[in-house]
Chains A and B, each alone.
Chain A
């Protein structure tokens, strides 16, 4: 085939492509590259600005014990709040999505879907105020109950915070905030389960719930994980709500209902940044870099989970 081809052959080395295709491929490639460039720029900025904090002597870092001792508790607090949020929100979001997709009458389903989507549009500072003034005080009696009855579990060791502005409250506020995104994405993937597969289950004599377990949940699994990861991303980076709700003092602890809580990276940056200068700013930026890396790692992990059983994903 190549033997007869002369240099003047216009098709040499490449296939014939329509102009529309070329324009589209070009702009898609451009957009992809742009995202990578922006990401690399942010990473470079963070690294450059974090470097002074890394090289600075330990006693110059706020707290006086070095960068690790400063960022460690923040990182821990960030992950703890986000994990609580994810553990609470994901099952709830999946349940809501299933209800909307397969149980609710059509009218109700539409209304409910709309309301859930609307939750996503509420600014996070509103959630923060809601958390402080409404949710936290109402949770105090519940926390007291937890301390009395489940106090032997380290999470509920107490003493119960009088204001209710605890790690658990912060996690619950975050859960409400990430609920819409997880449930919206879950709902979409559940609705996309082909009728063919749902009918296959029903024709075997599955009840509706069995049909959901056989055909809907496995098919929607990667979508739900994707939604949860978007939610997790939001939870990890959430600033205002946490800054308002969480009462911060002390370092790493798994005690979820006391008043001594580590802060989170994003909330800490928001609270400390206006007062900071010099190496303090670099320290905050270094904590931001840590958050960046963590978020990245979480996304890689999610991708790995989704791809692990790609053969069985049903995407073919």
Chain B
């Protein structure tokens, strides 16, 4: 069940360092939202604040609101563990659990929520998730082998399978293709286009073509200098961002005329 996310006046800190300032944005359900911008401008930081992964870093905190379907995710009575069950995440570097088999990697999240699931049901879910991540055919004969034995692109799809196995509402992806070859990248882009039927997807990418190819909306982050907080400079439909952006900085960035 895809859901929308409304962020208002979000300030994100690492200790006393304000990393991202004053972000207000609405993320549409059943669509792909891309976040672009130069290194260090706070894209990952912002993304991680959407599922409360930000606060696992000591001293890290946020101010402001992140509302998903009417519920403020940072309300005092909200458990971050619940938030993360509903908002899944795929990381920049593929990170399957090295001590688990392919099967167990996919089943890991399911087992957390539903301890007593029957083996047959679990098998079905694992297969469905692996098919959903376009990985089933490549691994169906070696489900009991370690996940770390797959290629980088396969590992990343395994991580996607693991994330979608628990049927989150939203899928956050932080540069999911940056460690992959062009073919694996295309495979994952195709996958994202399929997945957006079911999930709200937010993706951070340094690859402009990728943002242009897959996303409906694009947000451009920038920062005015070292030590300054990152800001969301422009948020618009992808088409507009890449053809006729409102902000000069956006245009400079996407056309490569950037500092």
Residues on A lying within 8 angstroms of B by beta carbon are 106, 194, 196-207, 210, 214-215, 218-219, 221, 311-316
B84, A202: Cβ atoms closer than 8 Å: yes
Alpha-carbon distance between A205 and B163 when the two chains are bound, in angstroms:
10
Alpha-carbon distance between A214 and B56 when the two chains are bound, in angstroms:
16
Q: Which of B84, B145, B148, B159 contacts A205 (CB 8 A)?
A: B84
Beyond A218-B99, A313-B98, A316-B148, whether A205 also contacts B112 by CB under 8 A is yes
B148, A314: Cβ atoms closer than 8 Å: yes
A205, B53: Cβ atoms closer than 8 Å: no
Closest to B147 in A: A312
Closest to A205 in B: B85
Residue pairs across A and B with Cβ atoms less than 8 A apart, 30 shown, are: A196-B93, A197-B95, A199-B56, A199-B91, A199-B95, A200-B97, A200-B159, A202-B56, A203-B91, A204-B84, A204-B85, A204-B166, A205-B81, A205-B84, A205-B85, A205-B109, A207-B81, A214-B97, A214-B108, A215-B97, A218-B99, A218-B100, A219-B99, A311-B146, A312-B98, A312-B99, A312-B101, A312-B146, A313-B98, A314-B97
Q: Which of B53, B97, B146, B163 contacts A197 (CB 8 A)?
A: B97
B109, A204: Cβ atoms closer than 8 Å: yes
- In the complex, per-residue mask of B58-89: 1 if CB is within 8 Å of any chain A CB, else 0: 10000000000000000000000110110011
B133 to chain A, nearest CB (A): 15
The residues of A that contact B15 with a CB separation of less than 8 Å are none
Residues on B lying within 8 angstroms of A by beta carbon are 51, 53, 56, 58, 81-82, 84-85, 88-89, 91, 93, 95-101, 108-109, 112-113, 145-146, 148-149, 159, 162-163, 166
The residues of B that contact A221 with a CB separation of less than 8 Å are 99
14 further A-B pairs in the complex, CB-CB below 8 A; given A203-B91, A215-B97, A314-B98: A106-B58, A196-B95, A199-B56, A200-B96, A201-B97, A203-B51, A203-B53, A203-B88, A204-B85, A204-B88, A205-B81, A205-B82, A219-B99, A316-B148
Closest to B96 in A: A200
Alpha-carbon distance between A315 and B113 when the two chains are bound, in angstroms:
28
B224 to chain A, nearest CB (A): 29
Alpha-carbon distance between A67 and B98 when the two chains are bound, in angstroms:
49
A219, B88: Cβ atoms closer than 8 Å: no
